[in-house]
Structure 1
Amino acid sequence: MKIVSLVPSITEALFDLGLSEHEIVGRTKFCIHPKDKIKNVPIIGGTKNINIEKIKALQPDLILANKEENVKEQVEALMGEFKVTVTNIETVEDNYYLLKNLGKLLGKEERAQLFNLKIYDILHHAKLETKVKAAYLIWKNPYMTIGSDTFIHKILAEIGFENIFKDKTRYPVITTEDLADTDVIMLSSEPFPFKEKHIEELKSFYPDKKIMIVDGEAFSWYGTHIAKCENYFKELREEIHSMQI
């Protein structure tokens, strides 16, 4: 089976489930994991601007897309000629079924189940002892955060954080003043590449708050990625608990 993946985290999952570059024949420029294998797979554009002619030339048996990450019109343009599966991952349960269905489709059921069990185990052991109010920022100029209908929100909730913007949806724009009620301000490493200097900027407003850079991939990459973040979440839990002492 020849597959084109239009979703970075799904591309990673396909490799983790045991596929090779002979089966994964096309990917986006944002598909960066696993680094050693991905370099051999042709790029067919970005997630929002795919090159339809390049995809047609590859003649895939299956194209994997995502409701949020890809452009509806571009995906629909491919549906007339190819089998296209559009995913929509908002919860940990959605992610479970994504891997289960990929496992069934690819004849990798056992491997998919092992990843699912690992993810549930990691999230269970990452859970904080008490609720911590958090704001998770994904963009600057303007500041943008995450609402309750996002995968990031569900991961935060799963490990014991209370998103102070849980009454919002998608990716709302906020101001510095809106962060007053939070215990922790998380600055994601992606899509905006927050750095230490951005921590200092917010410290000038909130000198006593915990402000930290967090691994955006650990919170937003569904598929198999969380299964590789055991140490990261363990260290995050310890860091938050040390803050509470």
Structure 2
Amino acid sequence: MIVLKQTPLRIVSLVPSQTELLYDLGLEDNVVGITKFCVHPVHFKRTKTNVGGTKQIHIDKIKGLNPDIILCNKEENTKEIVDACSEICKVHVSELYTIQDTIALIKEYGSLFNKRTDALKIINKIEYNLRDFQDFIKDKPVLKVAYFIWRAPWMVAANNTFINHLLELNNFENIYANLERYPEVEIKKLRLQGDPDLILLSSEPYPFKEEHAFELGRFSHHAKTVFVDGEYFSWYGSRLINAFDYFKTLRNRL
């Protein structure tokens, strides 16, 4: 928690999912800078200043925007970026692994930006939809999965990630949960390392295609390969409101 003497009026967001959250909190007019990966809401690409990516920023552009606060995330942004931004103004660095972490962040933003009522509305929707989904999923069988995020090298989401938390919520047993974060894996050992029922190919950050599904399928025993919306599995914030409906649809078509 950071403490400011007054409500920040000019915000630079270096985290796509948090940019969307700011919009849903009613802070559109306060957001002055975003990254090229901040694709929601769509019109921000036209109306906000692009300050670079999440790993490489244009520090002079950020300085020129004269922000009151810069929003970062421990996973999305490097320590070097946080340090550089700290020389400009206050920096808030989020660290999220669970839905409860997300709810805490929304509550903190509500307080920080004087949007407590809007924050509470978002939190209430997330909690209601979460309870509804938990009732839906409780009798669904547990399925073993491998969640791929990259190719060349092949990389997966493992333990201690927001993705793994949501996989568990979906009654998906991550065969790589014994590993940490986003490790490289050998797909030739897919059967030995857990022989999943499902291979999930995320829509981001890598643009997986049918040939990649076929390549992975050669090394599994009976796994069904499914392309999934990576935003619903990895974006925290207000996107969670609709994530549970997506998860229901995903489960129903398996």
| TM-score where L is the length of structure 1 | 0.92
The letter for the 1-side match of 2:58 is N
Q: Does 1:163 align with 2:170?
A: no
The one-character-per-residue Cα deviations of 1:100-131 (angstroms, maximum 9, x if unpaired) are 11111222222222222322343441635221
Give 3-state SS (helix, strand or coil) of 1:25's partner.
Answer: strand
* Equivalent position of 1:228 in the other structure: 242
The one-letter amino acid of 2:164's match is H
Match for residue 147 of structure 1?
158
Superposed counterparts of 1:90-239, under 5 Å: 90-124=97-131, 125=133, 127=137, 129-180=140-191, 181-206=195-220, 208-239=222-253
- Please say which of residues 121-130 and 107-116 is displaced more in the overlay: 121-130
* One-letter amino acid matched to 1:45: G
Q: Distance in 1 between matches of 2:96 and 2:17?
A: 11
Specify the alignment match of 1:28 in structure 2.
35
Give the percent of matched residue pairs that are identical in Structure 1 and Structure 2: 46
* Aligned with 2:19 (options 11, 15, 28): 11
Unaligned runs of 5+ in 2: 1-8
CA distance in 2, matches of 1:195, 1:120: 34
Assess, with a 3 A threshold, how the Cα gap between structure 1 residues 215 and 175 changes in structure 2: closer, same or farther: same
Residue identity opposite 1:192 in structure 2: Y
- Distance (Å, rounded) in 1 between the aligned partners of 2:197 and 2:66: 51
Q: Which amino acid aligns with 2:46?
A: K
Report if aligned partners of 1:67, 1:86 keep a CA contact under 8 Å in 2.
yes
Q: TM-score, normalised by structure 2?
A: 0.88
One-letter identity of the residue aligned with 2:233: F
User: Closer, same or farther in 2 for the Cα pair 1:123/1:179, shift >3 Å?
Assistant: farther
Number of corresponding residues? 239
1:57 partner letter: G
CA-atom RMSD in angstroms: 1.6
Which consecutive residues of structure 1, in runs of 5 or more, have no partner in the other structure?
241-245
- CA distance, structure 2, for counterparts of residue 5 and residue 214 of structure 1: 26
Deviations 1:29-63 (A, max 9, x none): 11110103442000011111111111111111111
Distance between the aligned counterparts of 1:169 and 1:123, measured in 2? 26
- Give deviations 1:153-188, integer Å, cap 9, x for gaps: 011112211111111101111112332221111011
Q: Which one is further off, 167-176 or 191-200? A: 191-200
Report the more deviating stretch, 101-110 or 129-138. Answer: 101-110
